[in-house]
Amino acid sequence: MNKIYNPKPETWSSILERPTKTVDDIEATVKGIFKEVQSKGDFAVAKYTSLFDGASVPELEVSQTEIATAIASISKELKEAILLAKSNIEKFHLAQKTNRIEVETIEGVNCWQEKRPIQKIGLYIPGGTAPLFSTVLMLAVPANLAGCSEIVLCSPPDKNGNINPAILYAAYLCGVTKILKVGGIQAIAGMTFGTVSIPKVYKIFGPGNQFVTVAKQLATQFGVAIDMPAGPSELLIVADDTAVPAFVASDLLSQAEHGTDSQVILVSTSKTLIDEVEKEVQSQLDVLPRKGIAEKAIANSKLIYVENDKIALELIDEYGPEHFIICTKDEDFYVQNIGNAGSVFIGNYTPESAGDYASGTNHTLPTNGYAKNYSGVNLDSFTKSMTFQKITPKGIQNIGKAIEVMAEAEGLQAHKNAVTLRLKALSDKQ
């Protein structure tokens, strides 16, 4: 890992740069596949599934028989773990429900706001070397709680044309309405345009690699909303001498093993801790099954020493981490003042893995600095806020003059007339 001591603020942007390709590097590929899926539908999807996943999939939709077989193959221990996680995720997201908000802004003018579900939801679940069945829980649970009527799930098949059984089990548990064996850019394009097999959706959720991230952003140009620009995973830990080096190293590696383009950073006010964590990282890395992946991610990562908590906080806010772990004596300083982070984990016994799986918070979070302006997925992500109003004769009399004056000042005579006619009708009745 790269050690950096007391970096000057003017160097922070370069030091904290993510190891990701620019959009320009991959946008042409994404646009080309989008165009082909838009014009050729399932034929193009099959072509790119064969090219990228090495799989031939005669039927894109997962059958009930396949789901039943998957459920039977899952161990009791894993089923119990998934059920525990699902329960905690449900509790946390159910608590986010809000009631109708109603107010009489002036006598006779009643306004209210209600939440309504987004009807057609698309979920993208990465497969490959790390089939993220936990992401199914994180997305399908709140989608169901919100009342979304159509929940479509796309996940890349393996070489044999199958989706990981745990993904199918989690999807079954959470009420996913259609599961499709398709991944990558072609999955996002399919849910954007719709094909014979893949329904068109209104909003797409889920993490993915840089190609999926760009594909989701391109989907917004065709009237489809997305949760956020969520790309390669990242973690920043702030720690001092009160932190346990082995714990800190394990958290850094837990994110590094996600992918070669993941990034992990340690910011510390202790040079001793930095040295101890570096040794622990190497020791723990050597025994990891995904050592090759984690090793490449670690090469992109940083160990940064700063003199005090104030400087550390400023640097962390500049980075805007997806995951932020606090292991310091004065943890309240960071908890109360952090402005930019997707999800925050506090104390030596709160690993980031807890949020990834079973504590209850959502692990679908903004990366690449988007924590500065995006929230992580929550219950409201699956709803729309609709406003309503009902005005009585007394109400239109109370605000009518103001509307007329404002409309006339903007040069919108028809707006003014819509009020004037009503006021005159009421005046004629008196």
> Does residue 242 sit in the same domain as residue 195?
no
Q: Residue 124, annotated ligand binder?
A: yes
Q: Are the C-beta atoms of 204 and 227 separated by less than 8 Å?
A: yes
Determine the structural domain holding residue 265 and report its residue range. Answer: 2-18+232-360
Is there a domain that residue 78 lies in?
yes
Is there a domain that residue 380 lies in?
no
Instruction: Tell me which residue of 351, 345, 343 sits closest to 331, measured CA to CA.
Output: 345
**Which neighbouring-strand residues pair with 181?**
155
Q: How many domains does the chain have?
A: 3
**408 CB-near residues (< 8 Å, 6+ apart):** 416
Q: Is 363 a catalytic residue?
A: no
Is there a domain that residue 90 lies in?
yes
Q: Residue 93, annotated ligand binder?
A: no
> Does residue 221 sit in the same domain as residue 283?
no
Q: Are the C-beta atoms of 172 and 31 separated by less than 8 Å?
A: no
Q: Residue 255, annotated ligand binder?
A: yes
Q: 191, 209, 228 — which closes off a domain?
A: 228
Say what the pLDDT of residue 361 is: 98
Instruction: Tell me which residue of 384, 388, 362 sits closest to 94, measured CA to CA.
Output: 362
Say what the pLDDT of residue 22 is: 63
The one-letter code for the residue type at 356 is D
> Does residue 424 sit in the same domain as residue 351?
no
Q: What is the CATH number of the domain that holds 423?
A: 1.20.5.1300
Q: Which is catalytic among the residues 36, 323, 352, 363?
A: 323
Is there a domain that residue 87 lies in?
yes
Q: Residue 233, annotated ligand binder?
A: yes
Q: 212, 228, 244 — which closes off a domain?
A: 228
Say what the pLDDT of residue 231 is: 73
Kind of pairing between the strands at 203-205 and 178-181 = unpaired
> Does residue 156 sit in the same domain as residue 90?
yes
The tens-digit pLDDT sequence of the chain (430 residues) is 899 999 999 999 999 998 766 667 789 999 999 999 999 999 999 999 999 999 999 999 999 999 999 999 999 999 999 999 999 999 999 999 999 999 999 999 999 999 999 999 999 999 877 789 999 999 999 999 999 999 999 999 999 999 999 999 999 999 999 999 999 999 999 999 999 999 999 999 998 888 998 999 999 999 999 999 877 889 999 999 999 999 999 999 999 998 888 999 999 999 999 999 999 999 999 999 999 999 999 988 899 999 999 999 999 999 999 999 999 999 999 999 999 999 999 999 999 999 999 999 999 999 989 999 999 999 999 999 999 999 999 999 999 999 999 999 999 999 999 999 999 999 999 8
Is there a domain that residue 385 lies in?
no
Q: Are the C-beta atoms of 93 and 377 separated by less than 8 Å?
A: no
Instruction: Tell me which residue of 346, 343, 339, 345 sits closest to 317, measured CA to CA.
Output: 339
> Does residue 214 sit in the same domain as residue 239?
no
Kind of pairing between the strands at 101-106 and 109-117 = antiparallel
> Does residue 255 sit in the same domain as residue 337?
yes
Q: Which is catalytic among the residues 257, 322, 352, 363?
A: 322
Q: What is the pTM of this model?
A: 0.94
Say what the pLDDT of residue 325 is: 98
Q: Is 93 a catalytic residue?
A: no
Q: Residue 410, annotated ligand binder?
A: yes
**341 CB-near residues (< 8 Å, 6+ apart):** 316, 320, 321, 322, 323, 324, 371
Q: Residue 25, annotated ligand binder?
A: no
Q: 360, 382, 403 — which closes off a domain?
A: 360
- 203/216 Cα distance (integer angstroms): 10
Alpha-carbon separation of residue 102 from 97, 108, 387 (angstroms): 16, 13, 10
> Does residue 212 sit in the same domain as residue 244?
no
> Does residue 285 sit in the same domain as residue 408?
no
Q: What is the CATH number of the domain that holds 273?
A: 3.40.50.1980
- 397/112 Cα distance (integer angstroms): 20
> Does residue 257 sit in the same domain as residue 319?
yes
Q: Residue 417, annotated ligand binder?
A: no
> Does residue 222 sit in the same domain as residue 308?
no
> Does residue 400 sit in the same domain as residue 329?
no
> Does residue 81 sit in the same domain as residue 130?
yes
Q: Residue 356, annotated ligand binder?
A: yes
Is there a domain that residue 79 lies in?
yes
